[in-house]
Chain A
Amino acid sequence: MKTALSSSRRWLGAALLVLLGAALVVLYVLSSRIGDGDRIQVELNLRRIITLDTDINLDVLRLRNRQLRHYDTLAENMRQIEATQADLQDAFVKVGLPYALKRAQDEWQIKSVNLEDFKRQNSVLVNSQYHFINLTGQISQELQKRQTNFPRFDAISREVLVFINEQQMQSSETLLASLQKQEAETAGWPAELMVSKRLLSAHGQQIVNNHPAVRVLMRRISNSEFPILLENAYQEYLEAYNYKLTQAENYRQVMALFAFLMIVVIALGIRRLRQAAADLARNHALLNNITDHLGEGILSFGPKGILNFTNQRAAILLGQDGEALLGQTAQSLFPDGKSVFLTALTDQRSFEGEGWLKRGETTFPAFFLGGPLQTSKENGKEGSSNGYVTSFRDITAQREASARLRLASRVFDNLSEAMSVTDKKGVIESVNAAFTTITGYTELEARGYTPGQLLGSGQHDKAFYQDMWETLLREGKWQGEITNRKKNGETYDAWLSITSLTDENGDLLHYIALFSDISERKRIEARIHHLAYHDPLTKLANRLQFIERLEKHMHESRRSSRPLTIMQLDLDRFKYINDSLSHAAGDVLLKSVAQRLLRMLHEGDILARVGGDEFSLLLPDIRSQPDAEALAKALLHEFDIPFNLHGREVFVSASIGIALYPVDGEDAETLLKNVDTALYKAKDSGRSTWRCFQESDNDNSLDRLELETDLRHSVAQNELRLYYQPQIDARTGVVYGVEALARWQHPIRGLLPPNVFIPLAEASGYIDTLGSWCLRTACRQLVAWHQEGLDIHRMAVNVSSRQLSSPVFVEMVLNTVEETGIPPECLELELTESSLVSNPDRVFGIFTQLRNHGIRIAIDDFGTGYSSLSYLSRYPVDVVKVDQSFVCNMGHETKNRSVTQAIVLMAHAMGMETVAEGVETEEQSLRLKEFGCDLLQGYLYSRPVAPEQILDLPYTEKRKMPAA
């Protein structure tokens, strides 16, 4: 309504303006049609004509009197009068008086005819007059010569001359008759006079005939009313002119008024235009602002498909500058200039659909919603097409999302874990195949029930469920163990994880429950736990548990500042008993020793079997060396009594090493090492005795110093070697990878194993140099093998925990990888369990960085350290190497209770590979394959060998790498 009003007002304004303009133009024409210039021109022309006319009259007189002897001026003046009259006529027509000059013109017409007649007759008359006088004179002279007198000739000649000169109007008829009479009278004149006489007569006749006519003409000419008529016409003109002038003046006044009105209208119009322009600018800015904040791109095309508007979003999506986009054709936005959208644009149809757009050199899918732009509809008529506008958005994410959705639904169906989706009240909407497998309920059966109704076993109390719901509502998820019931009534343990699904407003949509039957896993886990912490033979704690307890007591001891004692007890010559009697006898012996030792211990002491015939004792209450030595003596005393092994009395002696915390070692590792040292000293000093650890045992040995010095030159002297022990793929039986093992070719002592010089290197800080040498050499070796076409996928290199503390460790590794060109995924770093403990966060960081570069991490000697698999699972670890002690012990264990199998299973569950070390027998190899262990390493396959020997290995499959 408002627009209608304003539009009608606009029309009114425009119409008014046009009307005023037209009126002004008309008024201007009317007012400027006449002016002083016109009147002056008319008067000038008029005066000119009158002057010319006067000149003509004068010329006529002069011509008649032979004062003027040519007719050029007369003719020229007449011509000018005629020309000027034509101008005058135009001026008269202009004031509306086309006929006012008519009478003057007619009069001039008459006068000009008279003038032409005058010219014609006057020329004849003047000529005759001239000749008449001359001839009269000639004849008179002749007559006088002849002495003859003709009075009548004289009289007639005089009469003619008087006729001419005095302008007396004698009757021309009389004169003509006289002339004829005289002609007759002179019949008898001499012949020579006759010619002149006849000519005289002829001229006389001309004079008599023409003179009166010329006189009449002259009178008519001079009396012509032409000038008077012209003056009259001019008066008439002046009247008309003055009237026109007044009229023009009136028009001018009206014109002034109209001009003023027009100025007012225009001023108003300009004001409104300015307002409109300001509004437009505001609207434009607002539109730009709005469109620039839209999530969708906007493209607007002109009638020829040229872009004339875009928003910021469109520019971003198309990867172009907004300004640069303007003026481009629609085709240029689409790959190859083709799109369904373009067809719609050309046909001026609405379009809703997808298409591909260009973004620089790439393309992206977009969803369009567009339609033709039409000029505003007026009077119900269809507006003409004015272009095309479309919005579009990048639907790459949507497409990816829908792809993910499809994938998710496939995963949902193929998931090994049971999954159920419920509505927000907890009623099941759908379940997957695994759900049916585990619970026995199909989706059809499950739908409409809550999981509680369907699966509840009744084994959990109300508080359990309350806690579950509270957590779920608070955190949006819950996970935990729950015991449920299957369709067939069996109960099972499930690891259940429930997640609530909300929309963007946070309103609850669904619950997703994910669970697996962990009954089996739980059983294995419990068994592993026991296996892991107990020696199955003696039921004593094993090495793992012993170390855990030791750490705990050391912590306690630090707090209470009370020392504690550990002992290491080793049966002398146990191997001999084992070999000569039987393994079973050995087992009995070990059980008996355990029983006797336990009898000697107090509450709180811990006895553990940590090796074949090695026992460790943790004695928190023994706080001094003498007490410890007293106990050791007592313990050895127990061995004075023979052991009954399958009916045979056998004496077995033992040696004991003693170490005290904290004086003999501040950490478990050192303490255990030192207690070992003490044990060996006891054995060295003749067995069946005890020794306390002494610092000198380790450090002050000259031997050790010497060796350490030599070691420092080993790399430079090129004395270090790397040997390689193959790792065999358990499934195919071919060499998969190798572990690099360091050897020291000592100039005097010969080839030394790592356990001799690595501790030295670690203690002296030389380990970094040695470690990086090992790494570099191993990497180069693998690259060399690859170049030779040897298909070895893995190079395992041992890394000391000391190396990890180097701040540039990761850098060193990555540099080496880059320098040698080894594919990072072929490199595997082996670390001991204990290296994880010292600085867990730092190690975690190092592992993560290395793994991000594709390098694999293996945990060496797994099972001997303190960590459990669950502890290990927190680290990014790829491979677990089962310690050879477990492999070795496999023979003594029942099939189902294999620790090795448990480790392999658990490792696989956590996505880790397993390598078994120390495989020495076919039986072990078979068992390990059965457990699913991935790689096997041990003397059964090969000792560590020099690099050139690796080619000769029976399991190495020589084949060329695929051509690069």
Chain B
Amino acid sequence: MSDGQRKNFREMCFSFLRKPWSLATLASMGGLLGWPALAERFALEPVSPYRLIRPDEPILPILKNKSLDSRKVALGQALFHDVRLSHDSTISCAFCHDLKRGGVDRLPRSFGVGGQEGSINSPTVYNASLNFRQFWDGRAATLEEQAAGPVHNPVEMASSWEEVMPRLKNDVKLASQFEAIYNEGPAPFAIQDAIAEFERSLVTPSRMDRWLLGEDDALNTQELKGYTLFKQYGCVACHQGANVGGNMYQKFGIMRDYFENRDKRSGADMGRFNVTGREEDRHVFKVPTLRNITLTGPYFHDASAKSLHEAVSQMGYYQLGVELPNEDVQSIVIFLYALTGDELQ
């Protein structure tokens, strides 16, 4: 308790003694009682309940999130697979983010309603909750915000809440599920909340995490060699943290101009510039996660790299300014396999 807080607490008590009838005082007592909860709310949640065995590693281990509302997760899962969220009831979230395919559709660009082709390669929904922003250009601050995006995107689901809501309300069973959780029928807020909660359950601990938590046998020597190269070459400068990426923006083409020789240029290539309009943000993208990267090809926002091998050497070339030797690329790719979630193997 800081001095300031102590003083406030004292004042509060005095005010209560002075005005015992005051409802405001009583309310503040409630606030007092709720204080520990507040303190908890602002405390940094530990990433792991275990002691961090390898504190110097730039990559942090993850665990399954156990503090979720299972009812919301179940509802979110149902909604995630619900085609009624799209205009013509043909497409669900899972259409592009196939959970059996690493949370993506494995297509260069996704197809929306009526076979319309999207402008960008769909990122995986696995571990999306660990990203500091959503979308390639980071235009959504939260999962909830993100969930509304594809629904309204004209080439994706091409729908709207006004269109979706009556359909869901007519589903008595679904409506009663909403009723049970949110005390009201289907509503945009509730849909976003439930889907986000479901997505928070989609974290995929891998062998890498077990290694980071001290299980030395989790990675073999080849993989460890790959990890060392991963760090030595500087990949880890951006692909670090719990999500091996996903916590910063970076320019695509640091050491060499990636877009200079591209024949197909699209608006999506502008990256974060589309959001901020700042010159500095031209071709700047959110650094994508490398977890489950073996499952989520083709790679990059424009799906230009068909294989992981290609992607790794491209990254070395444009971002690190090196032409990686083939065996090193191979090693790094081997290491990347260790980032694939145990469940998704």
Contact = CB atoms under 8 A, between A and B. Distances in A.
Interface of A: 28, 31-32, 34-41, 43-45, 47-48, 69-76, 78-80, 82, 84, 113, 116-117, 119-120, 123-124, 126-127, 130-131, 199, 202-203, 206, 248-249, 252, 256
Given A36-B12, A70-B60, 6 more contacts: A32-B24, A37-B30, A40-B35, A47-B4, A120-B248, A206-B254
A39 B42 contact: no
Q: Nearest 7 pairs between A and B by C-beta? A: A37-B31, A35-B24, A36-B28, A69-B58, A72-B241, A127-B237, A37-B28
B236 interface: yes
Contact of B23 (A31, A78, A116, A117): A31
Contact of A71 (B27, B248, B251, B276): B248
Contacts of A82: 141
B25 interface: yes
B258 to A, nearest CB: 14
Contacts of A31: 22-24
Nearest to A82: B141
Contact of A43 (B8, B234, B241): B8
Contacts of B24: 31-32, 34-37, 248, 252
B247 A75 contact: yes
A252 B20 CA distance: 12
B69 interface: no
Contacts of A248: 24
B332 to A, nearest CB: 16
A76 to B, nearest CB: 7
Given A202-B255, A206-B254, A72 B247 contact: yes
8 contacts: A32-B23, A41-B38, A43-B5, A48-B42, A70-B59, A70-B240, A71-B241, A119-B248
Interface string B244-283: 0001111100110000000000000000000010101000
Interface string B8-29: 1001100100010111110110
A34 B280 CA distance: 45
Contacts of B251: 120
Contacts of B284: 120
Contacts of A36: 8, 11-12, 15, 24-25, 28, 31
A183 to B, nearest CB: 14
Contact of A70 (B247, B254, B278): B247
B30 A72 contact: no
A36 B251 CA distance: 48
B321 interface: yes
A71 B240 contact: yes
B58 A40 contact: no
Size band of the interface chain B makes with A: 35 or more
A71 B247 contact: yes
B197 to A, nearest CB: 17
B95 interface: no
B170 interface: no
Nearest to A248: B24
Given A32-B27, A76-B44, A202 B321 contact: yes
Nearest to A34: B24
B38 A116 contact: no
B234 A131 contact: yes
B30 to A, nearest CB: 7
B2 interface: yes
Interface in B223-250: 234, 236-238, 240-242, 247-250
B211 interface: no
A72 B8 CA distance: 34
A562 B240 CA distance: 167
Contact of A123 (B38, B248, B255, B322): B248
Best-buried of B11, B254, B322 by chain A (most CB within 10 Å): B254
A252 B31 contact: no
Given A36-B15, A41-B31, A119-B248, A127 B23 contact: no
Contact of B249 (A41, A120, A130): A120
B43 to A, nearest CB: 10
B42 A203 contact: no
B8 A39 contact: yes
B22 A252 contact: yes
A75 B132 contact: yes
Given A41-B38, A76-B44, A252-B22, A70 B132 contact: no
B238 A123 contact: yes
A35 B23 CA distance: 9
B38 A44 contact: yes
B319 to A, nearest CB: 9
A119 B23 contact: no
Contact of B2 (A47, A120, A202): A47
Nearest to A68: B58
B241 A70 contact: yes
Contacts of B56: 69
Contact of A69 (B8, B141, B236, B280): B236
A203 to B, nearest CB: 7
B8 A127 contact: no
A120 B321 contact: no
Contacts of A44: 5, 38, 42
A694 B212 CA distance: 164
Given A70-B60, A72-B242, A79-B132, A40 B255 contact: no
Contacts of A72: 47, 60, 240-242, 247
A123 B250 contact: yes
Contacts of A79: 132, 141
Interface string B282-308: 001000000000000000000000000
Contacts of A116: 248-249
Nearest to B133: A75
